[in-house]
């Protein structure tokens, strides 16, 4: 890439908008969490275990079972909000609705070296970019709502245990994207590796 290439600076007055506004995704996320809250948070869990210490299964619990050479083939973007059900779900629903990631933050699934490379390993929800399509470069970005977004081809979205009750409904909303429980990770990547042989 030409190091002298000039890129446009963000224009906060841009009139370009996301096809599905974030507010709409947040409203849907709030509705889903409200509908399934009791299933997401059993009474014993809510009363006895502090939020940060709840023993939900996360994607990392199962990614550890997948060979590194397989994970190396995939890029992921993770969504996490420390004390929120709605926040990471709204972020993910908006990505699924628009096939766009704000800021271009993604990392290899095999990355465990700290910083941004660990984003997939500290989140309850992640989206997996289609490994057969190139990761967008800086000049592929578009300014929407005053922020840079990158168009991506999505292969799957993976949800930690807390969000399992919502998944049939989310899959119905996004039939073209594979919606996975975290505990389906080993089998999913095993099948994907076998297809590539």
Q: What are 81-102's pLDDT values in tens digits?
A: 666 789 999 999 999 999 998 8
* Mean confidence (pLDDT) of the chain: 78
The whole model's pTM is what? 0.81
Strands 147-151, 178-181: pairing is unpaired
pLDDT digits (tens, 9 = 90+) for 120-165: 556 789 999 888 887 777 667 888 878 888 888 899 999 998 899 9
**pLDDT surpassing 90 at residue 185:** yes
């Amino acid at each position: 890439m030409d190091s002298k290439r000039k890129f446009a600076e963000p224009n906060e007055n841009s009139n370009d908008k996301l096809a599905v506004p974030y507010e709409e995704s947040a409203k849907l996320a709030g509705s889903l969490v409200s509908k399934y809250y009791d299933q997401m948070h059993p009474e014993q869990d809510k009363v006895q275990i502090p939020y940060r210490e709840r023993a939900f299964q996360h994607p990392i619990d199962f990614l550890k079972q997948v060979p590194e050479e397989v994970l190396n083939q995939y890029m992921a973007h993770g969504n996490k909000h420390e004390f929120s059900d709605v926040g990471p779900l709204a972020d993910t629903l908006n990505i699924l609705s628009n096939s766009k990631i704000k800021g271009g933050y993604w990392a290899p699934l095999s990355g465990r070296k700290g910083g941004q490379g660990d984003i997939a390993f500290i989140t309850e929800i992640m989206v997996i970019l289609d490994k057969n399509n190139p990761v967008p470069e800086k000049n592929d970005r578009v300014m929407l709502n005053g922020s840079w977004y990158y168009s991506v081809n999505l292969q799957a979205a993976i949800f930690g245990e807390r969000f399992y009750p919502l998944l049939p409904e989310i899959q119905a909303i996004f039939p073209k994207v594979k919606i996975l429980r975290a505990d389906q990770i080993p089998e999913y990547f095993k099948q994907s590796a076998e297809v590539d042989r």
